[in-house]
Structure 1
Amino acid sequence: MTDVQSSVTSDPYILMEIIRLQTEIAKLGLDLSGVVNEVVERVPGLTNAEGAIVEYTEGDEMVYRGASGIARPLLGTRVKRDACLSGLCASEGQILHSDDTLVDPRVNREPCELTGIRSMVVAPLKHDGSVVGALKLVSTLTHAFTARDVRVLELMSELIAAAMYYAARNETNALYQQATHDSLTGLANRSLFFDRLRHRILPGRRQIEPLGILVLDMDGLKHVNDSYGHRAGDAAIREMALRISRIPRKSDLVARLGGDEFGVILSEISGSLDLIAIVERVSQETDQSFRFEGRTLHLTASIGHARYPEDGRDVDALLEAADRSMYQMKRTRTVRTAQPETPHKHVF
């Protein structure tokens, strides 16, 4: 292992990337979900992985709180702790491999079959002396990972563990809060949004409970950032989050999905007219100017909507339907910004 450690630390590219990542993590401060996302996005480029996952232990389940690459569609997935390799890793507190998931009884096959994962290596995430999760590298190839990859994985897991310590100290509840909520707005984050949405439309439910979802893009945020600076942009995001949060009920979930994107899960939607009425109320609330340091800035948002089960019976179908609805609004409405942003497809 000494030779492997030496090969990693003597590799100028790997060393510089780790230093850059440490710098980015330091900038994120107490934003634990931001740290998790940064690590899972960067670690595949340093290893043979085609994707990376951060899972948290929550009761008897492992919950996917960060995912990149081929694993991105699994964000928010819940797997029984005693039926997966990461749960075993968390229980034993040591790094575990699976060179071929098709023949490994320790692996939960369903997520692997969904994404084509054929091999994985997983390291424990430790906080305050306890294992609270796992960092996993995945590949569509069998026998994909080397001892060098394992060492990089160890270093990455140590970075997340350090971020956990500074974000939450010894408080488990604070750790959960940091992992599932956006630091800028205080809203639920992307991970919690997908977790709740998957749970609500879980296949095999005896009784279907209709729900609605909204996806929102802020219009003109780039213009605000370019013209007035990122402090103004952050203020605009916080103001938009506040306005969106005024409409839903306590049983609903409002989330910041990242950047200028928001999502809402609406319970007890009786029909399409009910959902459209909420969209109109949110549109009226968000289509207002606000004051920032003596300036009047205009806010608008393009809003898409979909209803379960009419518009789709799985997460992807629902989000695609909501995206189509949103881009229809973008095409038909007059955006009241000097330099409106070019519509871009959501990457869910």
Structure 2
Amino acid sequence: MNKSKKVKVSEKRDFAAVKYMNAVLDFLPERADKIIKMRFGVLDGYSTTLEGIGKKYNITRERVRQIIREAIAKIKKKGDKNILLIEKEIKFAIEKSNGIIKEEKLLNNLSQNVKTQGAIKFFLKVINGVEFRVGGLEIEKSFYLKDFNFEQWNKCKDIAKNVLMERKSAISSEEVIKEISSIDSTIKKDVILDYLDVCKEIKINNFGKWGMIDWSDINPKGAREKAYLIMKEYGKPLHFTKVAEFIDKHGLSKKKSHPQTVHNELIKDKRFVLVGRGVYALSEWGYKRGTVKDVLDDIFKQSGKPLSKDEILNKVLASRKVKKSTIMINLNNFFVRVDRNRYTVKK
């Protein structure tokens, strides 16, 4: 069969959904049985397209849809104890997520086996008490229990958006829960993160912080934004090779980061300041671009008076990772000593 017309599901753990599915389909004609198994990917771990099934049986895509639709209707009408067993498992998994869960997360929580996930998708079509929400502008593709309170979900989502837009920065799960529950006490603390997990506009980043999906803190694009997020989260100057390493470590890039590419982007962006050999800091931390002489000029300008050698060294080393000897060379070459231990600008 043409693998290009199939969609691979991720491999993980197993439970007995495939066995139950085989039992449920047992009364169907052989062709209908095979078509359903091909469509849901329980034969070889691939979901075969309608076109692929149609070519195999020399029928149209619409006819394939009809066969599947009619078979599911018969299965629902007939009823089967195996369906009830799987229904119990699925409902329990959704209940653990407070009544609503993303499709992908539900599948992964129930099983990490490719064929089993296909069987679960089949059972989600035939069980009662579980509804599917097609993804839209505000919500991900999700499954929810019939009694799920969407009014409460909307309130939670709207409050979270307002909090984030007011903060204008990503915040931790603890802060999200605290803010939302303090604004509306009718929203239980234990449901908040599950409710936000299905929101399309609000996401959690790889550092466990929530924000709007279009924020660079949440969905960084390119090496510069990824490097900025790494620097901000680590909160200290880093060598460009470490920045590249941490981009990969925290899963911010699908491809391996190249240190030199990261270095080039750091050089171009004014948010980053070179403070040592290959070591960068963020300008928002108070670091300024320039040579050691530029730093010394700025220190004396702000001071307005002569400074001792120790004062100068401490101030420079607070903003540059350089050798003390380098600082002293610049002091002696470009500034003047006014007594045994103090320096000032040349007149």
Normalized against structure 1, the TM-score is what?
Answer: 0.26
More helix by share: 2
Larger radius of gyration: 2
Normalized against structure 2, the TM-score is what?
Answer: 0.26
Larger RCO of the pair (alpha carbons < 8 Å, separation 6+): 1
More strand by share: 1
